[in-house]
A and B are shown apart, each in its own frame.
Chain A
Amino acid sequence: MTSSVANGARLHYMDNLRALAMLAGVLFHAALAYSLALHPFWPTADAEHSAWVDVIAWFSHLFRMPLFFVVAGFFTALLVAKRGMGGMLRNRFARVLLPFIIFWPIAYITMGWLITHAVIQCENLSPLLSMIKQWMALPNPPAVPPTLMHLWFLPYLLCFCVLVWVAITLEMTWLTLIFRQLRIGILLTLAPLVLVLPLASVVAPFRAPESFFPQWWALVFFGLYFTFGFQLFQHQEIIDKLKPYAPLTLLFAVITYVIFLMLLEMKNAQWHMLVVLCEAYAGFWLTLCSLYYGKKWLNVRNRFLRYIADTSYWVYIVHLPILFAIQYRLLDIEAHWQVKFAISVTSTLLIAFASYHLLVRNTIIGTLLNGQRRKT
Protein backbone atom coordinates (compact mmCIF):
# COMPACT_ATOMS: atom_id res chain seq x y z
CA MET A 1 0.00 0.00 0.00
CA THR A 2 2.65 2.48 1.10
CA SER A 3 4.89 1.73 -1.86
CA SER A 4 2.03 1.93 -4.33
CA VAL A 5 1.08 5.31 -2.87
CA ALA A 6 4.67 6.47 -3.08
CA ASN A 7 4.67 5.41 -6.73
CA GLY A 8 1.86 7.75 -7.59
CA ALA A 9 -1.46 6.14 -6.60
CA ARG A 10 -3.69 8.82 -5.05
CA LEU A 11 -5.18 8.53 -1.60
CA HIS A 12 -8.49 10.18 -2.41
CA TYR A 13 -9.81 10.21 1.15
CA MET A 14 -6.76 12.10 2.40
CA ASP A 15 -7.13 14.70 -0.38
CA ASN A 16 -10.83 15.02 0.41
CA LEU A 17 -10.32 15.20 4.17
CA ARG A 18 -7.79 17.99 3.71
CA ALA A 19 -10.23 19.87 1.49
CA LEU A 20 -13.06 19.43 4.00
CA ALA A 21 -10.85 20.58 6.88
CA MET A 22 -10.00 23.74 4.93
CA LEU A 23 -13.57 24.45 3.86
CA ALA A 24 -14.80 23.83 7.41
CA GLY A 25 -12.56 26.76 8.30
CA VAL A 26 -14.70 29.05 6.15
CA LEU A 27 -17.85 27.93 8.00
CA PHE A 28 -16.08 28.28 11.34
CA HIS A 29 -14.88 31.84 10.71
CA ALA A 30 -18.30 32.80 9.33
CA ALA A 31 -19.99 31.38 12.43
CA LEU A 32 -17.77 33.34 14.83
CA ALA A 33 -19.58 36.55 13.87
CA TYR A 34 -22.71 35.12 15.51
CA SER A 35 -20.95 33.44 18.45
CA LEU A 36 -21.86 34.41 21.98
CA ALA A 37 -18.49 33.47 23.45
CA LEU A 38 -16.42 35.49 20.96
CA HIS A 39 -18.80 38.45 20.75
CA PRO A 40 -16.42 40.86 22.55
CA PHE A 41 -13.33 39.77 20.56
CA TRP A 42 -14.33 39.08 16.94
CA PRO A 43 -14.16 42.02 14.47
CA THR A 44 -17.41 41.14 12.66
CA ALA A 45 -19.33 40.19 15.84
CA ASP A 46 -22.97 40.87 15.04
CA ALA A 47 -25.70 42.12 17.37
CA GLU A 48 -27.55 38.94 16.37
CA HIS A 49 -25.92 35.96 18.03
CA SER A 50 -26.70 32.63 19.61
CA ALA A 51 -25.15 30.16 22.04
CA TRP A 52 -26.03 27.40 19.56
CA VAL A 53 -23.45 28.81 17.18
CA ASP A 54 -20.78 28.16 19.82
CA VAL A 55 -22.00 24.60 20.33
CA ILE A 56 -21.53 23.77 16.65
CA ALA A 57 -18.54 26.02 15.85
CA TRP A 58 -16.33 24.83 18.73
CA PHE A 59 -17.24 21.22 17.98
CA SER A 60 -15.68 21.51 14.53
CA HIS A 61 -12.82 23.60 15.94
CA LEU A 62 -11.64 20.78 18.23
CA PHE A 63 -10.69 18.51 15.35
CA ARG A 64 -10.57 20.65 12.18
CA MET A 65 -6.99 21.88 12.42
CA PRO A 66 -5.73 18.74 14.22
CA LEU A 67 -7.11 16.73 11.29
CA PHE A 68 -5.45 19.12 8.86
CA PHE A 69 -2.07 18.60 10.53
CA VAL A 70 -2.52 14.80 10.58
CA VAL A 71 -3.17 14.90 6.84
CA ALA A 72 -0.26 17.32 6.35
CA GLY A 73 2.07 14.96 8.27
CA PHE A 74 0.83 12.05 6.18
CA PHE A 75 1.52 13.87 2.91
CA THR A 76 4.93 15.01 4.16
CA ALA A 77 5.87 11.37 4.78
CA LEU A 78 4.54 10.55 1.31
CA LEU A 79 6.72 13.28 -0.20
CA VAL A 80 9.80 12.03 1.64
CA ALA A 81 9.11 8.49 0.38
CA LYS A 82 8.48 9.70 -3.15
CA ARG A 83 11.03 12.48 -3.66
CA GLY A 84 13.49 12.19 -0.77
CA MET A 85 14.21 14.78 1.92
CA GLY A 86 15.48 17.45 -0.51
CA GLY A 87 12.47 16.96 -2.77
CA MET A 88 10.08 17.23 0.16
CA LEU A 89 11.69 20.44 1.41
CA ARG A 90 11.76 21.95 -2.09
CA ASN A 91 8.08 21.07 -2.55
CA ARG A 92 7.08 22.53 0.83
CA PHE A 93 9.05 25.73 0.22
CA ALA A 94 7.29 26.13 -3.13
CA ARG A 95 3.77 25.21 -1.95
CA VAL A 96 3.84 26.63 1.57
CA LEU A 97 6.51 29.32 2.01
CA LEU A 98 6.08 31.01 -1.37
CA PRO A 99 2.25 31.31 -1.13
CA PHE A 100 2.68 32.66 2.41
CA ILE A 101 5.22 35.29 1.28
CA ILE A 102 2.93 36.32 -1.60
CA PHE A 103 -0.51 36.18 0.00
CA TRP A 104 0.10 37.18 3.61
CA PRO A 105 0.97 40.85 2.86
CA ILE A 106 -2.01 41.14 0.49
CA ALA A 107 -4.38 39.62 3.06
CA TYR A 108 -2.91 41.71 5.87
CA ILE A 109 -3.23 45.02 4.00
CA THR A 110 -6.74 44.14 2.80
CA MET A 111 -7.89 43.22 6.32
CA GLY A 112 -6.42 46.45 7.71
CA TRP A 113 -8.19 48.47 5.05
CA LEU A 114 -11.46 46.62 5.65
CA ILE A 115 -11.32 47.31 9.40
CA THR A 116 -10.62 51.02 8.85
CA HIS A 117 -13.41 51.19 6.28
CA ALA A 118 -15.84 49.37 8.59
CA VAL A 119 -15.03 51.64 11.53
CA ILE A 120 -15.88 54.68 9.39
CA GLN A 121 -18.87 53.29 7.47
CA CYS A 122 -20.73 50.94 9.83
CA GLU A 123 -23.32 52.22 12.28
CA ASN A 124 -23.69 49.10 14.41
CA LEU A 125 -20.08 48.43 15.28
CA SER A 126 -18.99 45.23 16.98
CA PRO A 127 -17.42 45.68 20.46
CA LEU A 128 -13.93 45.17 18.96
CA LEU A 129 -14.55 47.68 16.15
CA SER A 130 -15.84 50.19 18.73
CA MET A 131 -12.61 49.77 20.66
CA ILE A 132 -10.57 50.22 17.47
CA LYS A 133 -12.58 53.38 16.71
CA GLN A 134 -11.64 54.78 20.12
CA TRP A 135 -7.99 53.88 19.51
CA MET A 136 -8.02 55.54 16.12
CA ALA A 137 -9.31 58.74 17.72
CA LEU A 138 -6.27 58.94 20.01
CA PRO A 139 -3.52 61.41 19.00
CA ASN A 140 -0.89 58.64 19.06
CA PRO A 141 -2.77 55.37 18.55
CA PRO A 142 -0.86 52.32 19.87
CA ALA A 143 0.86 50.20 17.23
CA VAL A 144 -0.77 46.80 16.87
CA PRO A 145 1.69 44.01 16.06
CA PRO A 146 0.93 42.27 12.76
CA THR A 147 -0.36 38.74 13.11
CA LEU A 148 -0.31 35.70 10.87
CA MET A 149 -4.14 35.88 10.79
CA HIS A 150 -5.86 32.83 9.28
CA LEU A 151 -2.62 31.91 7.46
CA TRP A 152 -0.91 30.95 10.75
CA PHE A 153 -0.93 27.29 9.77
CA LEU A 154 1.49 27.85 6.87
CA PRO A 155 4.57 28.85 8.95
CA TYR A 156 3.79 26.07 11.44
CA LEU A 157 3.51 23.55 8.62
CA LEU A 158 6.83 24.70 7.23
CA CYS A 159 8.38 24.52 10.66
CA PHE A 160 7.20 20.91 11.08
CA CYS A 161 8.65 19.98 7.68
CA VAL A 162 12.02 21.43 8.72
CA LEU A 163 11.72 19.49 11.99
CA VAL A 164 11.18 16.31 9.96
CA TRP A 165 14.60 16.97 8.42
CA VAL A 166 16.00 17.61 11.93
CA ALA A 167 14.50 14.37 13.30
CA ILE A 168 15.79 12.27 10.41
CA THR A 169 19.22 13.94 10.41
CA LEU A 170 19.59 13.39 14.15
CA GLU A 171 18.39 9.79 13.65
CA MET A 172 15.51 10.08 16.10
CA THR A 173 14.25 6.60 15.27
CA TRP A 174 12.71 6.18 18.72
CA LEU A 175 9.67 8.09 17.43
CA THR A 176 9.02 5.36 14.85
CA LEU A 177 9.71 2.65 17.44
CA ILE A 178 7.14 4.13 19.83
CA PHE A 179 4.57 4.27 17.06
CA ARG A 180 5.31 0.70 15.98
CA GLN A 181 4.68 -0.54 19.51
CA LEU A 182 1.44 1.45 19.83
CA ARG A 183 -1.63 -0.72 20.36
CA ILE A 184 -5.05 0.53 19.31
CA GLY A 185 -6.31 0.41 22.92
CA ILE A 186 -3.43 2.61 24.10
CA LEU A 187 -3.93 4.95 21.16
CA LEU A 188 -7.58 5.46 22.08
CA THR A 189 -7.21 5.69 25.85
CA LEU A 190 -3.76 7.05 26.73
CA ALA A 191 -2.41 8.87 23.66
CA PRO A 192 -4.64 11.96 24.16
CA LEU A 193 -2.97 12.51 27.55
CA VAL A 194 0.13 13.88 25.80
CA LEU A 195 -2.06 16.67 24.39
CA VAL A 196 -3.08 17.83 27.87
CA LEU A 197 0.20 19.60 28.68
CA PRO A 198 0.19 22.06 25.73
CA LEU A 199 -3.56 22.66 26.03
CA ALA A 200 -3.32 23.33 29.78
CA SER A 201 -1.19 26.42 29.16
CA VAL A 202 -3.80 28.21 27.05
CA VAL A 203 -7.46 29.17 27.38
CA ALA A 204 -10.04 26.62 26.34
CA PRO A 205 -11.09 26.22 23.60
CA PHE A 206 -7.61 26.85 22.18
CA ARG A 207 -7.26 29.88 19.90
CA ALA A 208 -5.25 30.13 16.68
CA PRO A 209 -1.54 30.85 17.37
CA GLU A 210 -1.48 33.98 15.22
CA SER A 211 1.71 35.55 16.61
CA PHE A 212 4.77 35.71 14.36
CA PHE A 213 6.77 34.16 17.17
CA PRO A 214 6.34 30.39 17.49
CA GLN A 215 4.05 29.49 20.38
CA TRP A 216 5.36 26.49 22.30
CA TRP A 217 1.92 25.02 23.00
CA ALA A 218 1.00 25.15 19.30
CA LEU A 219 4.33 23.63 18.26
CA VAL A 220 3.77 20.73 20.66
CA PHE A 221 0.01 20.34 20.15
CA PHE A 222 -0.13 20.53 16.36
CA GLY A 223 3.33 18.99 16.13
CA LEU A 224 2.04 15.84 17.86
CA TYR A 225 -0.81 15.60 15.37
CA PHE A 226 1.62 16.19 12.51
CA THR A 227 3.93 13.47 13.87
CA PHE A 228 0.94 11.14 14.19
CA GLY A 229 0.09 11.76 10.53
CA PHE A 230 3.72 11.29 9.50
CA GLN A 231 3.91 7.92 11.24
CA LEU A 232 0.44 6.96 9.99
CA PHE A 233 1.83 6.88 6.46
CA GLN A 234 3.94 3.83 7.35
CA HIS A 235 1.15 2.25 9.42
CA GLN A 236 -2.04 2.90 7.49
CA GLU A 237 -3.53 -0.32 8.85
CA ILE A 238 -4.23 1.62 12.07
CA ILE A 239 -7.18 3.33 10.37
CA ASP A 240 -8.68 -0.05 9.50
CA LYS A 241 -8.08 -1.31 13.02
CA LEU A 242 -10.38 1.47 14.25
CA LYS A 243 -13.37 -0.25 12.62
CA PRO A 244 -14.78 -2.02 15.71
CA TYR A 245 -14.21 1.02 17.91
CA ALA A 246 -15.27 3.85 15.61
CA PRO A 247 -19.02 4.16 16.49
CA LEU A 248 -18.32 3.99 20.22
CA THR A 249 -15.40 6.41 19.90
CA LEU A 250 -17.66 8.87 18.13
CA LEU A 251 -20.30 8.52 20.83
CA PHE A 252 -17.74 9.04 23.61
CA ALA A 253 -16.30 12.03 21.73
CA VAL A 254 -19.73 13.69 21.56
CA ILE A 255 -20.42 12.96 25.25
CA THR A 256 -16.99 14.33 26.21
CA TYR A 257 -17.65 17.42 24.11
CA VAL A 258 -20.96 18.01 25.91
CA ILE A 259 -19.18 17.71 29.29
CA PHE A 260 -16.51 20.09 27.95
CA LEU A 261 -19.17 22.68 27.08
CA MET A 262 -20.90 22.30 30.44
CA LEU A 263 -17.60 22.79 32.28
CA LEU A 264 -16.80 25.82 30.14
CA GLU A 265 -20.20 27.26 31.01
CA MET A 266 -19.38 27.01 34.73
CA LYS A 267 -16.41 29.38 34.18
CA ASN A 268 -14.62 27.94 37.19
CA ALA A 269 -10.81 28.15 36.99
CA GLN A 270 -10.49 25.16 39.33
CA TRP A 271 -12.00 22.95 36.65
CA HIS A 272 -9.44 24.01 34.03
CA MET A 273 -7.54 20.70 34.00
CA LEU A 274 -10.78 18.77 33.56
CA VAL A 275 -11.82 21.10 30.74
CA VAL A 276 -8.46 20.55 29.05
CA LEU A 277 -8.71 16.80 29.52
CA CYS A 278 -12.13 16.77 27.81
CA GLU A 279 -10.79 19.06 25.07
CA ALA A 280 -7.81 16.76 24.41
CA TYR A 281 -9.86 13.55 24.37
CA ALA A 282 -12.81 14.90 22.36
CA GLY A 283 -10.47 16.49 19.79
CA PHE A 284 -8.33 13.38 19.38
CA TRP A 285 -11.26 10.98 19.16
CA LEU A 286 -13.03 13.17 16.63
CA THR A 287 -9.84 13.34 14.56
CA LEU A 288 -9.55 9.54 14.57
CA CYS A 289 -13.23 9.20 13.64
CA SER A 290 -12.73 11.66 10.78
CA LEU A 291 -9.87 9.51 9.48
CA TYR A 292 -11.87 6.30 9.75
CA TYR A 293 -15.14 7.62 8.29
CA GLY A 294 -13.19 9.64 5.75
CA LYS A 295 -11.54 6.47 4.48
CA LYS A 296 -14.89 4.69 4.52
CA TRP A 297 -16.98 7.29 2.72
CA LEU A 298 -14.61 9.67 0.96
CA ASN A 299 -12.14 7.29 -0.64
CA VAL A 300 -13.65 7.77 -4.06
CA ARG A 301 -12.28 9.06 -7.33
CA ASN A 302 -14.74 11.73 -8.26
CA ARG A 303 -14.26 14.73 -10.54
CA PHE A 304 -16.37 16.98 -8.32
CA LEU A 305 -14.45 16.06 -5.13
CA ARG A 306 -11.16 16.41 -7.01
CA TYR A 307 -12.19 19.91 -8.08
CA ILE A 308 -13.14 20.80 -4.51
CA ALA A 309 -9.80 19.44 -3.27
CA ASP A 310 -7.95 21.57 -5.84
CA THR A 311 -9.98 24.64 -4.91
CA SER A 312 -9.77 24.38 -1.13
CA TYR A 313 -6.28 25.91 -0.66
CA TRP A 314 -7.15 29.03 -2.66
CA VAL A 315 -10.59 29.31 -1.05
CA TYR A 316 -9.04 29.17 2.40
CA ILE A 317 -6.39 31.79 1.60
CA VAL A 318 -8.86 34.34 0.23
CA HIS A 319 -11.96 33.60 2.29
CA LEU A 320 -11.36 35.82 5.31
CA PRO A 321 -11.10 39.22 3.57
CA ILE A 322 -14.15 38.35 1.43
CA LEU A 323 -16.10 37.11 4.46
CA PHE A 324 -15.24 40.18 6.52
CA ALA A 325 -16.19 42.53 3.68
CA ILE A 326 -19.61 40.86 3.52
CA GLN A 327 -20.14 40.58 7.27
CA TYR A 328 -19.25 44.24 7.86
CA ARG A 329 -22.06 45.13 5.44
CA LEU A 330 -24.41 42.78 7.28
CA LEU A 331 -23.75 44.53 10.63
CA ASP A 332 -26.18 47.30 9.65
CA ILE A 333 -28.85 45.00 8.27
CA GLU A 334 -31.64 43.68 10.47
CA ALA A 335 -32.09 39.98 9.96
CA HIS A 336 -31.92 36.73 11.92
CA TRP A 337 -28.39 35.43 12.47
CA GLN A 338 -29.20 32.28 10.49
CA VAL A 339 -30.05 34.40 7.44
CA LYS A 340 -26.89 36.48 7.84
CA PHE A 341 -24.79 33.34 8.29
CA ALA A 342 -26.28 31.76 5.17
CA ILE A 343 -25.73 34.94 3.11
CA SER A 344 -22.15 35.40 4.27
CA VAL A 345 -21.14 31.76 3.72
CA THR A 346 -22.85 31.42 0.34
CA SER A 347 -21.50 34.72 -0.98
CA THR A 348 -17.97 34.05 0.27
CA LEU A 349 -17.87 30.58 -1.24
CA LEU A 350 -19.36 31.79 -4.52
CA ILE A 351 -16.81 34.58 -4.88
CA ALA A 352 -13.91 32.36 -3.79
CA PHE A 353 -14.89 29.50 -6.12
CA ALA A 354 -15.54 31.85 -9.05
CA SER A 355 -12.20 33.59 -8.53
CA TYR A 356 -10.49 30.19 -8.43
CA HIS A 357 -12.13 29.11 -11.67
CA LEU A 358 -11.48 32.37 -13.50
CA LEU A 359 -8.19 33.58 -12.09
CA VAL A 360 -6.37 30.62 -10.57
CA ARG A 361 -7.12 27.17 -11.97
CA ASN A 362 -5.41 27.55 -15.32
CA THR A 363 -2.90 30.20 -14.36
CA ILE A 364 0.48 30.36 -12.68
CA ILE A 365 -1.26 30.89 -9.30
CA GLY A 366 -2.92 27.48 -9.68
CA THR A 367 0.44 25.88 -10.41
CA LEU A 368 1.94 27.69 -7.42
CA LEU A 369 -0.73 26.40 -5.05
CA ASN A 370 -1.46 22.91 -6.37
CA GLY A 371 1.39 22.10 -8.72
CA GLN A 372 0.90 20.97 -12.30
CA ARG A 373 -2.62 19.60 -12.73
CA ARG A 374 -2.89 15.97 -13.77
CA LYS A 375 -5.69 14.96 -16.09
CA THR A 376 -8.15 12.66 -14.29
Chain B
Amino acid sequence: MKYSADDFQMIKQLITKDWQIYQKQLAAYVVGLLAGLTLVGIGKTWSFFVGSLLLLVLLICVGGFAIQSSLLNERKEHTLPFVMSLPVTPMTFYWSKMLVNLTIYLVPFSLVAGGTGFLVLFTPLPNGILVWSLLIFGFLATIFFVSLCAALVLESEGWNLFVQIGLSTLVGPFIMGIGMIDVIGKNINTNNIVWSHPAISIFLAQFSVVALAIGLTSWVHRRKTSFL
Protein backbone atom coordinates (compact mmCIF):
# COMPACT_ATOMS: atom_id res chain seq x y z
CA MET B 1 0.00 0.00 0.00
CA LYS B 2 1.36 3.38 -0.98
CA TYR B 3 0.88 6.45 1.17
CA SER B 4 0.30 9.91 -0.22
CA ALA B 5 1.34 13.22 1.34
CA ASP B 6 -2.29 13.64 2.44
CA ASP B 7 -2.12 10.34 4.34
CA PHE B 8 0.98 11.51 6.21
CA GLN B 9 -0.72 14.82 6.95
CA MET B 10 -3.74 12.96 8.29
CA ILE B 11 -1.55 10.66 10.43
CA LYS B 12 0.14 13.78 11.82
CA GLN B 13 -3.22 15.38 12.63
CA LEU B 14 -4.50 12.26 14.36
CA ILE B 15 -1.30 12.04 16.42
CA THR B 16 -1.64 15.72 17.38
CA LYS B 17 -5.25 15.08 18.42
CA ASP B 18 -4.24 12.16 20.67
CA TRP B 19 -1.33 14.16 22.04
CA GLN B 20 -3.63 17.03 23.00
CA ILE B 21 -6.05 14.68 24.72
CA TYR B 22 -3.28 12.83 26.53
CA GLN B 23 -0.94 15.69 27.47
CA LYS B 24 -2.31 16.31 30.98
CA GLN B 25 -1.68 12.70 31.94
CA LEU B 26 1.73 12.83 30.30
CA ALA B 27 2.59 16.00 32.23
CA ALA B 28 1.73 14.20 35.47
CA TYR B 29 3.92 11.26 34.40
CA VAL B 30 6.84 13.62 33.75
CA VAL B 31 6.57 14.79 37.38
CA GLY B 32 6.42 11.15 38.52
CA LEU B 33 9.44 10.20 36.42
CA LEU B 34 11.42 13.13 37.75
CA ALA B 35 10.45 12.17 41.32
CA GLY B 36 11.52 8.56 40.65
CA LEU B 37 14.86 9.57 39.15
CA THR B 38 15.46 12.04 42.00
CA LEU B 39 14.76 9.34 44.58
CA VAL B 40 17.20 6.99 42.84
CA GLY B 41 19.76 9.83 42.76
CA ILE B 42 19.64 10.33 46.55
CA GLY B 43 21.94 7.33 46.75
CA LYS B 44 20.43 5.67 49.84
CA THR B 45 19.26 2.04 49.70
CA TRP B 46 15.65 2.89 50.66
CA SER B 47 15.43 5.71 48.13
CA PHE B 48 16.91 3.50 45.42
CA PHE B 49 14.22 0.84 45.95
CA VAL B 50 11.36 3.35 46.32
CA GLY B 51 12.55 5.25 43.23
CA SER B 52 12.99 2.08 41.15
CA LEU B 53 9.56 0.81 42.18
CA LEU B 54 7.98 4.15 41.30
CA LEU B 55 9.66 4.12 37.88
CA LEU B 56 8.57 0.53 37.23
CA VAL B 57 4.95 1.26 38.22
CA LEU B 58 4.95 4.44 36.14
CA LEU B 59 6.22 2.56 33.08
CA ILE B 60 3.41 0.04 33.35
CA CYS B 61 0.87 2.86 33.96
CA VAL B 62 2.13 5.06 31.09
CA GLY B 63 1.65 2.21 28.62
CA GLY B 64 -1.69 1.12 30.09
CA PHE B 65 -3.19 4.61 30.22
CA ALA B 66 -1.96 5.49 26.74
CA ILE B 67 -3.72 2.45 25.29
CA GLN B 68 -6.79 3.07 27.45
CA SER B 69 -7.25 6.73 26.53
CA SER B 70 -6.24 6.60 22.88
CA LEU B 71 -8.00 3.37 21.89
CA LEU B 72 -10.36 1.84 24.40
CA ASN B 73 -12.03 5.07 25.59
CA GLU B 74 -12.56 6.16 21.99
CA ARG B 75 -14.35 2.92 21.31
CA LYS B 76 -16.43 3.24 24.48
CA GLU B 77 -17.40 6.80 23.59
CA HIS B 78 -18.37 5.71 20.05
CA THR B 79 -15.89 8.01 18.36
CA LEU B 80 -15.56 5.56 15.48
CA PRO B 81 -18.61 6.87 13.52
CA PHE B 82 -17.04 10.32 13.65
CA VAL B 83 -13.64 8.97 12.52
CA MET B 84 -15.42 7.20 9.65
CA SER B 85 -16.71 10.56 8.43
CA LEU B 86 -13.11 11.78 8.04
CA PRO B 87 -11.01 11.12 4.93
CA VAL B 88 -9.11 8.39 6.82
CA THR B 89 -8.41 4.82 5.78
CA PRO B 90 -8.24 2.02 8.39
CA MET B 91 -4.51 1.77 7.73
CA THR B 92 -3.92 5.52 8.29
CA PHE B 93 -5.88 5.26 11.50
CA TYR B 94 -3.85 2.20 12.52
CA TRP B 95 -0.51 3.90 11.94
CA SER B 96 -1.52 7.05 13.81
CA LYS B 97 -2.54 4.97 16.85
CA MET B 98 0.59 2.85 16.66
CA LEU B 99 2.92 5.88 16.37
CA VAL B 100 1.31 7.99 19.07
CA ASN B 101 1.41 5.12 21.55
CA LEU B 102 4.99 4.28 20.67
CA THR B 103 6.06 7.89 21.18
CA ILE B 104 4.24 8.22 24.49
CA TYR B 105 5.68 4.96 25.78
CA LEU B 106 9.17 4.80 24.30
CA VAL B 107 10.31 8.25 25.51
CA PRO B 108 9.93 7.51 29.25
CA PHE B 109 10.92 3.88 28.61
CA SER B 110 14.25 4.87 27.03
CA LEU B 111 14.88 7.39 29.81
CA VAL B 112 14.31 4.86 32.57
CA ALA B 113 16.12 1.98 30.83
CA GLY B 114 19.07 4.26 29.95
CA GLY B 115 19.15 5.68 33.48
CA THR B 116 19.21 2.17 34.94
CA GLY B 117 22.06 1.13 32.63
CA PHE B 118 24.02 4.24 33.59
CA LEU B 119 23.38 3.65 37.28
CA VAL B 120 24.53 0.04 37.08
CA LEU B 121 27.66 0.74 35.07
CA PHE B 122 28.87 3.88 36.84
CA THR B 123 28.01 3.33 40.50
CA PRO B 124 29.21 0.68 42.96
CA LEU B 125 26.17 -1.47 42.07
CA PRO B 126 27.34 -4.87 40.72
CA ASN B 127 27.58 -4.73 36.90
CA GLY B 128 26.09 -8.23 36.67
CA ILE B 129 22.66 -6.77 37.44
CA LEU B 130 22.66 -5.15 33.95
CA VAL B 131 21.57 -8.23 31.99
CA TRP B 132 18.89 -9.05 34.56
CA SER B 133 17.46 -5.51 34.49
CA LEU B 134 17.57 -5.33 30.67
CA LEU B 135 15.60 -8.58 30.50
CA ILE B 136 12.98 -7.03 32.79
CA PHE B 137 12.82 -3.91 30.62
CA GLY B 138 12.53 -6.16 27.58
CA PHE B 139 9.60 -7.93 29.23
CA LEU B 140 7.90 -4.61 30.09
CA ALA B 141 8.29 -3.49 26.46
CA THR B 142 6.92 -6.82 25.24
CA ILE B 143 3.78 -6.66 27.38
CA PHE B 144 3.23 -3.07 26.23
CA PHE B 145 3.49 -4.02 22.55
CA VAL B 146 1.25 -7.06 22.97
CA SER B 147 -1.35 -5.01 24.87
CA LEU B 148 -1.22 -2.28 22.23
CA CYS B 149 -1.61 -4.74 19.39
CA ALA B 150 -4.47 -6.49 21.21
CA ALA B 151 -6.22 -3.14 21.68
CA LEU B 152 -5.80 -2.41 17.96
CA VAL B 153 -7.29 -5.74 16.92
CA LEU B 154 -9.74 -6.79 19.64
CA GLU B 155 -13.02 -4.92 19.78
CA SER B 156 -14.09 -6.31 23.15
CA GLU B 157 -13.22 -4.19 26.17
CA GLY B 158 -13.33 -7.25 28.39
CA TRP B 159 -10.74 -9.08 26.34
CA ASN B 160 -8.50 -6.02 26.28
CA LEU B 161 -8.65 -5.66 30.06
CA PHE B 162 -7.93 -9.37 30.36
CA VAL B 163 -4.83 -9.05 28.17
CA GLN B 164 -3.55 -5.94 29.97
CA ILE B 165 -4.15 -7.16 33.53
CA GLY B 166 -3.11 -10.72 32.72
CA LEU B 167 0.20 -9.63 31.23
CA SER B 168 0.91 -7.17 34.05
CA THR B 169 0.50 -9.90 36.63
CA LEU B 170 3.27 -11.82 34.87
CA VAL B 171 5.89 -9.16 35.69
CA GLY B 172 6.51 -10.47 39.21
CA PRO B 173 6.80 -14.17 38.21
CA PHE B 174 9.04 -13.17 35.28
CA ILE B 175 11.44 -11.26 37.56
CA MET B 176 11.55 -14.24 39.92
CA GLY B 177 11.80 -16.73 37.08
CA ILE B 178 14.82 -15.21 35.37
CA GLY B 179 16.51 -14.82 38.74
CA MET B 180 16.20 -18.58 39.16
CA ILE B 181 18.04 -19.31 35.91
CA ASP B 182 21.50 -20.18 37.20
CA VAL B 183 23.64 -18.32 34.71
CA ILE B 184 21.57 -15.14 35.09
CA GLY B 185 20.76 -15.27 38.83
CA LYS B 186 24.26 -16.14 39.99
CA ASN B 187 25.81 -13.20 38.16
CA ILE B 188 23.46 -10.58 39.60
CA ASN B 189 25.74 -9.93 42.57
CA THR B 190 29.00 -10.07 40.64
CA ASN B 191 30.72 -7.58 38.37
CA ASN B 192 30.51 -9.91 35.36
CA ILE B 193 28.20 -8.92 32.52
CA VAL B 194 27.41 -12.34 31.06
CA TRP B 195 25.43 -12.53 27.84
CA SER B 196 24.57 -16.18 28.36
CA HIS B 197 22.60 -18.41 26.01
CA PRO B 198 19.43 -18.29 28.16
CA ALA B 199 19.63 -14.46 28.38
CA ILE B 200 20.09 -14.05 24.62
CA SER B 201 17.33 -16.60 23.97
CA ILE B 202 14.91 -14.66 26.20
CA PHE B 203 15.82 -11.40 24.41
CA LEU B 204 15.23 -13.07 21.04
CA ALA B 205 11.93 -14.51 22.26
CA GLN B 206 10.82 -11.05 23.46
CA PHE B 207 11.82 -9.51 20.14
CA SER B 208 10.03 -12.26 18.20
CA VAL B 209 6.82 -11.81 20.20
CA VAL B 210 6.90 -8.03 19.56
CA ALA B 211 7.60 -8.52 15.84
CA LEU B 212 4.89 -11.16 15.55
CA ALA B 213 2.33 -9.01 17.37
CA ILE B 214 3.05 -5.97 15.17
CA GLY B 215 3.14 -8.12 12.03
CA LEU B 216 -0.20 -9.77 12.79
CA THR B 217 -1.88 -6.48 13.69
CA SER B 218 -0.60 -4.82 10.52
CA TRP B 219 -1.80 -7.79 8.46
CA VAL B 220 -5.28 -7.62 10.02
CA HIS B 221 -5.54 -3.88 9.37
CA ARG B 222 -4.16 -4.12 5.84
CA ARG B 223 -6.94 -6.54 4.96
CA LYS B 224 -9.58 -4.11 6.20
CA THR B 225 -11.34 -2.17 3.49
CA SER B 226 -13.65 -0.38 5.91
CA PHE B 227 -13.73 0.39 9.62
CA LEU B 228 -16.61 -2.00 10.27
Contacts and interface: CB of A to CB of B under 8 A. Distances in A.
B25 to A, nearest CB: 10
A211 B119 CA distance: 11
Nearest to B51: A213
B27 A215 contact: no
Q: How large is the interface on B (under 10, 10 to 19, 20 to 34, 35 or more residues)?
A: 10 to 19
A101 interface: no
Nearest to B24: A169
Contacts of A212: 118, 122
B212 interface: no
Contacts of B204: none
Contact of B38 (A143, A166, A216): A216
A348 B37 CA distance: 36
B123 A216 contact: no
B123 A145 contact: yes
A211 B41 contact: yes
Q: Is the interface of B mostly helix, strand, loop or mixed?
A: helix
Contact of B30 (A162, A211, A214, A216): A162
Contacts of A170: 24, 27-28
A242 B188 CA distance: 59
Given A166-B31, A170-B27, A213 B119 contact: yes
A159 interface: yes
Interface string A149-169: 000000000010011011001
Contacts of A145: 122-123
Interface in A122-170: 143, 145-146, 159, 162-163, 165-166, 169-170
B27 A213 contact: no
B38 A146 contact: no
A215 B121 CA distance: 19
Interface string B115-130: 1001101110000000
Contacts of A169: 23-24, 26-27
Interface of A: 143, 145-146, 159, 162-163, 165-166, 169-170, 211-216, 219
Pick the 6 closest A-B CB pairs, nearest first. Answer: A213-B41, A145-B122, A169-B27, A166-B27, A216-B38, A214-B38
18 contacts: A145-B122, A145-B123, A163-B30, A165-B27, A166-B28, A169-B23, A169-B27, A170-B27, A170-B28, A212-B118, A212-B122, A213-B37, A213-B40, A214-B34, A215-B41, A216-B41, A219-B34, A219-B38
